[in-house]
Amino acid sequence: MQTIYYEGIKKTADATTLIQDYLVVEAPLEININGNPFTVVMRTPGKDIPLILGLLFAEDIYRGTEIPKIDILENSENEFAKINVQIPIADLGVGYLNKRSLLSVSSCGICGKQSLSDLIQPKQKLQSKNAIDLEKLPEMFRIMQRHQDVFNQTGGSHAAALFNSNYELLTLQEDIGRHNAVDKCIGDLILQNKLHSATFMLVSGRVSYEIITKAFFAKIATVVAVSACSSLAVDYAKEFGICLIGFSREEKATVYANPNTTVSSTF
């Protein structure tokens, strides 16, 4: 269940009306690794397996080549879920050692990081051969918006979309959290064995440093946002060789990082 009805009282200058409104569902998902509590993610239910796979991959927690065994331990009517992921010790990545504290909220990329050293990521540039044509962006966002069913009902969800080098939509996922939507996209393509085809990432909100690091681990060298980019996101994008574009609306866009190697045209 991704949306739910709630009652509300709508007030205007002329009237007070009792209404039934769709709201996006936000509920906890407890992730255990090898039987031990790892983190609790506040997410929109419905794509929990892709979310878990994307999170493990994009946070450098799981470095194996096979999809790990995932067991659902609990799944209640109020959408609380508890799962366990079985990962061989040899396949646990650096992200597992720098794990978050138990509660990870859906809106903050830095929340739960236990020390400043947890923010340090591998300094290795992506080498992208696929420049993005800025003239394609308006249509890419129109395609994205047409598939945002939860947002169209509630106005309360974020979305991420991954496209291939031919500007074809590979996956679109929605969630209460910006980072969760990205994780769901990555996990969905892992399940389809298509992550290698992902070339461009579009997000419906702002970009923080963590979305850039997720793109880096997924080897996606272009990230485009409808909204703003944080200073740390720009710094990381420059360091990792990622083309970062913000404020992409209608026929405008602002390129913040690596414009010479990854942008092929202007409006």
Each residue of 2-38: pLDDT tens digit? 899 898 888 888 888 998 888 999 999 999 999 999 9
**What is the number of residues in the chain?**
267
As a dihedral over the C-alpha atoms of residue 197, residue 221, residue 159, residue 110, rounded to 10 degrees, the angle is 130
Q: Are residues 93 and 191 in the same domain?
A: no
* Full-model pTM: 0.88
Q: Would you state the pLDDT for residue 101?
A: 45
Instruction: Write the pLDDT tens digit of every residue in 219-261.
Output: 999 999 999 999 989 999 999 999 999 999 888 899 999 886 5
Q: Would you state the pLDDT for residue 114?
A: 47
Q: Which residues of 45-78 are buried (b: 16+ CB within 10 A; e: fewer)?
A: bbbbbbbbbbbbbbbbbbeeeeebeeeeeeeeee
Q: Are residues 151 and 42 in the same domain?
A: no
Q: Are residues 137 and 260 in the same domain?
A: yes
Q: Is 108 a catalytic residue?
A: yes
Q: Are residues 213 and 107 in the same domain?
A: no
Q: Would you state the pLDDT for residue 99?
A: 61
Taking a C-beta distance cutoff of 8 angstroms, is the pair 62, 217 a contact?
A: no
65's CB contacts (< 8 A; 6+ apart) are: none
E strands, 89-199, in order: 103-104, 132-133, 158-163, 169-175
69, 97, 119 - which closes a domain: 119
Q: Are residues 83 and 35 in the same domain?
A: yes
Six-digit token string for 177: 């959290």
| Tens of each residue's pLDDT in the chain, 267 residues | 889 989 888 888 888 899 888 899 999 999 999 999 999 999 999 899 999 999 999 988 998 889 999 999 988 878 899 999 999 999 998 888 766 544 455 555 555 554 545 555 556 788 777 889 999 999 999 999 999 999 999 999 999 999 999 999 999 999 999 999 999 999 999 999 999 999 999 999 999 998 999 999 999 999 999 999 999 899 999 999 999 999 998 888 999 998 865 566 666
Binding site: what residues are annotated? 247-252
| Domain of 227, in residue numbers | 132-265
66, 85, 119 - which closes a domain: 119
Residue of 108, 111, 185, 243 marked active site? 108
Six-digit token string for 109: 């990329």
Q: Are residues 114 and 145 in the same domain?
A: no
d(CA 34, CA 44): 24
Return the CA Rg of the chain.
19
